Chains A and B, each alone.
Chain A
Amino acid sequence: MNDQALLELCHTLLDLARKAGADHAEAAAAWQRSSETHIENGSVHTVQSGEEAMYGLRVLVGSSQGFVTANDLEPALLAERAAEAVAQARINP
């Protein structure tokens, strides 16, 4: 994912949060690719790599807060995550 795609993801999350009933929302997203090699006693112990996009969504309903992080980017799930954050905020006394 490039910077533009991450920005679009954040905007989508903010829109979904508002639609779900959030008064305020904050979204952050990151994409990372990692690689790691670990040598132990002259022998290769670990060779590993990974890639992942991750996002966090914080919402406020009144003064109550809800927070969700996830790495699933399917549109239906983004809406579900936004609704979950808002539901949390509504339940928090």
Chain B
Amino acid sequence: MSEALDLLCDIAARESGFVELRYHAKTSRSVGVDKGKVERSQARHRKGVGVRVFEGGGWGFASTGSLDPDSIRRAVHAARAGAVASAQRSSHPFTALPACALARGVFDQPGLADMAGRTLEEKIGMATSLEARVRAASSAIRSASCSYNEIFEEKAIVTTDGAAAAFRLVRPELRVSAVAEKDGQLSTGNEAVGATGGWDCLFHSATGEALAERAAKVAQDLLSARHAEGGRTTVILAPSIVGLLVHEAIGHTVEADFVQAGSVAAGKIGQRVASDLVTLCDSGVSEHYTGAGGTIPVDDEGVMAGRTTIIRDGILVSYLHNRESAARYGVEPTGNARAWEYSDQPLIRMRNTYLAPGTRSLEEIIADTKDGYLLDGPRNGQADATGEFMFGVQEAWRIRDGKKTELLRGVTLSGIAFDVLQSVDAVSSDFRWDLGAGYCGKGQPAKVDAGGPYIRCRALLGGEQ
């Protein structure tokens, strides 16, 4: 690892102007078991160096899959030529990036030895056994699947203005699905976990066996569930739904490149955008407990990836920045520049996005809800730059007179995210990361996580067909 850092430092030392060199080696392994059969077991190894040059107000990027110093120097040359060409037709208001605090050192994340010590046989065995466990859970289960993926990453980031950082991390993921059938009607149950770290992080909240049993139970229970009535109503959102809401419907609107493109958050710094119970953050660190799936110690521009408070007590206080957008807005970079692979340019991406916990218990919140729903488990969904969103929900329980009653199926949740956050009137003291198996897509994938406490708010529920 230090070899890559030394190599990049050596090359950077001979370059003039602003040059950013990023070594990135990535190993992905994937196992998929379907209906009792191993359908997929494969590995992918990809490494190389991505180079960015900022010159005369223009950016150029080039990459090479070779670690030969001459190949890397050719990439620097190509990136510089791109930057010069770009500068002639670009609208950057400055010709040099402002100085900022940059990372130096090695920042390996936990779990590497644990994961490297586990054999492929163990991982295939686990996926096979969990898939079988789902099928054995009930005679109503018609099919099951289980997939296990892991990504090992090594990075070294060096810039001519002072960054010289390296780290290694590992991200395991597990997904279990069940399909149940009764009288020709199908229902599904899906459970997924993902972490940055070892298996202790992956199974922090539940064992693999518990996830398999839960997927089977959800699929089976939903067979007899009715549809909800729908309409504007009071909802208590579980951490999984809160995570999806803060990532998709809020987080993207505060990415500075989206803000510049005219997202709903543009021009709203300093304004109230949520109830005063809402504090919302994005962090490269796994806050509250270790293992969040989007954890990075240093971003791909060499900036330490600490916590950024986006909304404090209901007031919008920050966007998410890379070095360039931070310079445009006259603030410090927030460590959100991320690239999926060495041949990708860093973009402004979220890391671990969450709503901060409050002081109440879930039981208290349910007890003082006369009429509403408790929603858990995101199914799918979409959100746009206006903050308008629609998510599918796996499980919805009716709440009547302060009591959780029957399970309902086929529920969707929609609204304008900032309006929903304005309506938050209760926040629990629980906290759970619950999107660690997810990937964010923005031209290139990114491993992210999201979560939070239980919150009570008002939103539009889709129900009866």
**Residue positions of A touching B, CB distance < 8 A:** 39, 42-44, 46-54, 65-73, 77, 81, 84-85, 87-88, 91-93
Contacts and interface: CB of A to CB of B under 8 A. Distances in A.
A93 to B, nearest CB: 6
A88 B120 CA distance: 7
Contacts of A72: 45, 47
Interface in B1-49: 38, 41-48
B82 A47 contact: yes
B64 A51 contact: yes
Among B43, B61, B62, B71, the most chain A Cβ lie within 10 Å of the Cβ of B43
Contact of B82 (A42, A48, A70, A91): A48
Contacts of A66: 41-42
B89 interface: yes
Contact of A46 (B43, B61, B63): B61
B62 A50 contact: yes
B46 A50 contact: no
Contacts of B59: 46-47
Nearest to B71: A51
- Sorting the interface of chain B by its residue count into under 10, 10 to 19, 20 to 34 or 35 or more gives 35 or more
A84 B65 CA distance: 21
B386 interface: no
A81 B45 contact: yes
A52 B71 CA distance: 11
B46 A70 contact: yes
B333 interface: no
Among B59, B65, B89, B91, the most chain A Cβ lie within 10 Å of the Cβ of B65
A44 B90 contact: yes
Nearest to A77: B45
Contacts of A43: 89-91
Nearest to A89: B41
A66 B41 CA distance: 6
22 contacts: A43-B89, A43-B90, A44-B58, A44-B86, A44-B88, A44-B90, A46-B59, A47-B82, A48-B60, A50-B63, A50-B343, A53-B65, A54-B46, A67-B43, A68-B43, A68-B45, A69-B44, A69-B46, A73-B66, A85-B43, A88-B43, A88-B120
